[in-house]
Structure 1
């Protein structure tokens, strides 16, 4: 399997090189040159496997340059850190299957990919006798999961930017209470989009990127998306065995387009997905794109689901590549237009294709609280606000033709304020969060300026 950039300037590189490159050197995002397709029999057989073995089978299709024994060891170690034996168990509540992706070290779906990526980075750096400085931006969950994936690891320093005062208190504490010497938390005086723009600009300076051996843990790294493809196959297999269904729909709360893009890849591989429901909060650029062909910038609104408080979706360029017929020049032009005008235009044919690929709904704060409240009253199950956005979209958009799986992206204890507003009590805290407010903390407040972040990185790089 070889990899190419969405902008056409990089092609023919190996999986290992794609992982270490992160953002392509031409500024694009990396994708496999071909997507393997699986037969109905293959998919049914995969659905019977335990999660680590399923992950090995799927990831092996894309990582042919990693010896099988090494890859299996990396995967087994990654998912041994999860507290549930099924890794991503399913809960059936009120006619909806909830895929619980929050049983990892930081109680969020990002752990599924970042436990694997952290171990993969350490393996590749040791193999090549290299060092790496990871630079990433987070709207909340990616940062803590990335830190948990690489804290204390050899030959790696990690620099995580988060929007100061715009993540949940627990999300912030999960990052800033990690005081390992190789971990640097930077609270940016701006929004997530500001932080992400800084990261992309720094990665776009290829000479600087190479000089300081920068690595990416955001979902711009293909390995992140690949690891998330696995749980679509896992959920389908479990639901099919329970119901005998031929197709399954998925409702995905998303702001950065990475989690639902993983589902899009799974469908291209042959997974019989009836609907991919894209659920957003009031920062609804993606929902507007699907419904109306309107991909235009708006102001970032603070919501009860802060991990989706995003107006520029980092993974959108990957989907644009396919929407433009895998034409790198068309993607370059589209991204230039977006930078200059803050919007993109799409033909009628393209809009029709988008609506074939996705359904979409934007969910307000009031609707989020109402969903948490009503779901708890009906089932006793507590949703976090992001998962509630997905459940609301599933209820409104799934037609009932087949089972629907909603991705539960975070544990409700990470968003206790929102849950308390909805059901008038705090969610139960897992053991990993007990006493977190009293732990030592370390972070730096920094202006939302490229040079400020670049200078900090230079002073602290490994």
Structure 2
């Protein structure tokens, strides 16, 4: 399996080289040159497997340069850190299925990919005798998951940017209380989009990227998307066994388009997904795109679901590649137009194709609180605000002819203020969060300037 850039100037990479490159050197995002397709029998067989074996079977279709025994070992080690024996269990509540993706060490779906990616980086660096400085931006959960994925690992330093004062208190503490010598937290005076822009500019400086051996953990790294494909197959298998239904909806709260793009890849592979329901908060560039063909940047609004407080979705370019019939020149031109004008326009035929894959809904703060409250009243189950956005969209848009799985992207204890607004009390804290406010902290507040971040990294790089 070879990998190429959405913009066409980087081609023929192995999986290992694609992982190490992160962002393609031409500024695009890396994708496999073909998507493996599965028969209905293949899908049924995969749905019977335990999570680590399913992960191995999915990964093996995209990875041909890591020996099978080594790949299995990396996968098994990665999911030993999860507190639930199923890794990503599915529970039925109030007419929807909840895919619980929050049983990893930082209580968020990002752990599913980043526990694996951390082990993979360590494996590849040891194999190559190299070092890496990871640079990433987070809107909340990616940062802590990435930090926990590589803390204490050999030959890796990690530098994570988060928007100062714009993540939840627990999200901030999960990052800043990790004081391992290889972990550097930077609170940027700006938004997540500012941080993400800084990261892309740093990676776009190829001399700087090479000199400091930059590595990417954001969802620009293909290995993260691939790891997230697995739980779509897992959830489908569990719901198929319970209901006997052949088709399924997935409702995905998303801001950066990475999690739902993994579902799109699963659909292209042959998973019988009727529609992917794209759920956003008021930062709704993605739902406007699906519903109205309007992909235009607005102002970032602070919400109760801060991990989705994003206006520029970094993974959207991967979907554009397929929407534009895999034409890299057109993708490159579109991204240059978007950089200059802050908007993209789409032909009617393209909008029709989008509608074949996605439904979308914008869910505001009031609706988020109401959904947490009503769902809890009906079931006793506590949703985090991001998951509540997905549940609201699922109930509004999924047809009754097929079951719907809602991705529960974070534990409600990470967003205690929103939960308290909804049900009058904070959710119970898992053991991993007990006493987190009292732990030592380390963080540097920095201006939202690319040069300032590059200077800091240069001073602290391996």
Normalised by the shorter chain, which TM-score bucket? over 0.9
Write out aligned runs for 1:309-388 (5 A).
Answer: 309-388=309-388
Equivalent-residue separation in structure 2 for 1:164 and 1:406 (angstroms): 30
Inter-partner Cα distance in structure 2 for 1:24 and 1:352:
30
* Deviation at residue 414 of structure 1 after TM alignment: 0.1
**Separation in structure 2 between the aligned mates of residue 401 and residue 301 of structure 1, nearest angstrom:** 35
Structure 2 portions without partners, runs of 5+: none
Alignment of structure 1 residues 154-173 onto 2, 5 Å: 154-173=154-173
Aligned residue for 1:280?
280
- 1:343-370, Cα deviation, whole Å (9 max, x unpaired): 0011111111111110000000000000
Q: Counterpart of 2:439?
A: 439
Structure 1: how far apart are the matches of 2:165 and 2:62?
A: 39
Deviations for 1:177-229, whole angstroms, at most 9, x for unmatched residues? 00000000000000000000000000001111011000000000000000000
CA-CA distance at 1:34 after TM superposition: 0.3
Q: What SS is found at the alignment partner of 1:66?
A: coil
Equivalent-residue separation in structure 2 for 1:160 and 1:217 (angstroms): 10
How far off its partner does 1:453 sit? 0.1
Question: 2:3 and 2:251 mapped to 1: Cα distance?
Answer: 29
Determine the structure 2 residue equivalent to 1:42.
42
* SS of residue matched to 1:159: strand
* 1:286-339 Cα distance to aligned partner (Å, 9 max, x none): 000000000000000000000000000010000001111111110111011111
In structure 2, what is the Cα distance between the partners aligned to 1:356 and 1:392? 21
Q: Render the CA deviation track for 1:103-135: whole Å, top value 9, x for unaligned.
A: 000000000000000000000000000000000
Quote the residue 1:294 is aligned against: 294
Counterpart secondary structure, 1:288: helix
Give me the whole-angstrom Cα distance separating, in 2, the residues matched to 1:145 and 1:383. Answer: 20
Task: Find the aligned partners of 1:356 and 1:244 in 2 and give their Cα distance.
Answer: 23
Q: 1:62-461 to 2 correspondence within 5 Å?
A: 62-461=62-461
Structure 2 counterparts to residues 5-16 of structure 1, below 5 A: 5-16=5-16
Distance 1:434 1:212 in 2: 37
In angstroms, what is the RMSD of aligned CA positions?
0.4
Runs of 4 or more off by more than 6 Å in structure 1?
none
What CA deviation, in whole Å up to 9, does each residue of 1:49-104 have, x standing for no partner?
00000000001111110100000000000000000000000110011000000000
Equivalences, count: 462
SS at match of 1:143: helix
Q: Partners in 2 of 1:62 and 1:21 — Cα distance?
A: 16
Distance in 1 of aligned mates of 2:457 and 2:400: 51
Distance, in Å, in 1 between the alignment partners of 2:400 and 2:65 is 42
CA distance in 2, matches of 1:112, 1:446: 30
Q: Secondary structure at the match of 2:185?
A: strand
Secondary structure at 1:97 match in 2: strand
Q: Distance in 1 between matches of 2:322 and 2:52?
A: 30
Q: Which whole-Å CA distance do the structure 2 matches of 1:47 and 1:320 have between them?
A: 29
Distance 2:407 2:136 in 1: 24
1:57 and 2:82 equivalent?
no
Deviations, residues 118-177 of structure 1 (Å, cap 9, x unaligned): 000000000000000000000000000000000000000000000000000000000000
1:424 & 1:178 partners in 2: Cα distance?
31
Structure-2 separation of matches of 1:355 and 1:209: 38
TM-score with structure 2 setting the length: 1.00
Structure 2 residue matching 1:422: 3-state secondary structure: helix
